[in-house]
Amino acid sequence: MPEECFEEALEKLREIKEKADKEKESAPVSCVKCGGVNVLRNGKRNNRQAYICKDCKKTFVQTATSAVAHSHSSETVWKQVIRDTVEGIPIDKTADSLDLTHTTVFNMRHKILHCVEQAIFDSPVDLNGVCETDETYVLESVKGRKIPADYHRKPRKHGAKASKRGISDEYVCVCASVSEEGKNMAVAINRATPSSQEILDVFGDKVSENTVILCDGNKSYNILEDKCTVASTGRINKVNGFHSFIKARLEAMRGVATIYLNRYNALFSQTFGKKDVSVEKIFELMTSRNSSFSTIADVKSQNLLIV
């Protein structure tokens, strides 16, 4: 950028930010306790706008009951962690760039993933129209934990291969589907090849009579024939592309612990094939006062994948 244009561009950015801040402040605010709208601004706490309810006298900040409530990190820091999470940047690299500890960034990242996953639970994906459906397999990982002496396999280093040939209990199955409408889903619930019941558990409440499931001929999908149309085909390139996307992201992050795999699957489902997925949208989801707040203890114990 030419030097003479720098000040003008900076001024434009300031105007845009001020306009966004005014719109945010002018938006109606309801009390987190009684739900009333008779609310006044009441100074700031930790650089966040504070409010007081004239009806019940409750005081609260603009991020109360949201996923970032009680956080000491700024909006800029949160957006950078969201950006690195979406792009698959390793936690240590994010921590170094923000001068934070590994533990802090880990907790922030999993709050982001937990929030995205909860949003999917609240609004489940409906698979309508023609949907390519298939499963892929990723090595089980106990990254970050010590393997007990009676574990079913020996410890292995990052990048090592499974000790058994073919699809074994060392692999976790990720069932995925991609619809023509651009809706994606990926869920892991089992080890090795999925059974008919496991296929029903994953897709049973997501399909309808208007759904056409295209698969590679796996007979386990026939259990869905009472709910939708199931057809066999050799061309399921879209879902195979989704599989490649998942594996590439997992490889970039040097793997993720299996207990957290479905949280990452939720993020992959929201980002694959979507050009409009932005940091701003995820940050808005996390800062909306929709009672999405969860403690670090909640994040470390809720919705874990145990297979």
Beta bridge partners of 34: none
Please answer whether residues 133 and 176 qualify as being in contact, where contact means their C-beta atoms are separated by less than 8 angstroms.
yes
Interior CA angle at 162 toward 156 and 164, to 5°? 130
- Token digits of residue 251: 């490889």
List the beta bridge partners of residue 55: none
pLDDT attached to residue 169:
87
pLDDT at 27: 57
Residue 152 Cα distances to 147, 148, 170, 225, angstroms: 9, 9, 9, 36
* DSSP strands (E only) in the chain: 39-45, 48-53, 59-61, 129-139, 171-179, 184-191, 211-215, 229-232
Distance of alpha carbon 171 from alpha carbon 238, whole angstroms: 22
pLDDT at residue number 132: 94
Distances (CA, A) of 218 to 127, 168, 184, 233, 299: 19, 17, 20, 10, 35
Q: Residue 94, SS3? A: helix
Based on C-alpha coordinates, what's the Rg of the chain?
A: 23
3-class secondary structure, 247: helix
Provide the residue-wise pLDDT of the chain in tens; the chain has 307 residues. 566 566 666 666 666 666 555 555 555 677 777 878 888 888 887 777 788 888 888 887 777 778 888 888 888 899 999 999 988 888 999 999 999 999 999 999 999 999 999 989 888 889 999 999 999 999 998 888 888 888 878 888 777 788 888 888 889 999 999 998 888 999 998 988 999 999 999 999 999 999 999 999 889 999 999 999 999 988 899 999 999 999 999 988 888 999 999 999 999 998 888 766 678 888 888 888 776 788 888 888 888 998 8
Architecture per CATH, domain 129-285, reads as 2-Layer Sandwich (3.30)
Cite the DSSP H helix spans in 102-216.
Answer: 102-122, 196-203
For residues 50 and 303, what is the distance between their CA atoms, to the nearest angstrom?
Answer: 32
Identify the CA nearest to 214 among candidates 230, 199, 200, 196: 230
CA dist 170 and 163 (Å) reads 8
Q: Taking the CA atoms of 119, 123, 129 and 132 in sequence, report the sign of the dihedral they define.
A: positive
Both structure tokens of 59:
């005081």
Residue 37, phi-psi category: left (phi > 0), alpha (psi -120 to 50), beta (remainder): alpha
The residues spanned by each domain of the chain are: 3-61, 129-285
- Residue 203 in contact with residue 194, Cβ under 8 Å? no
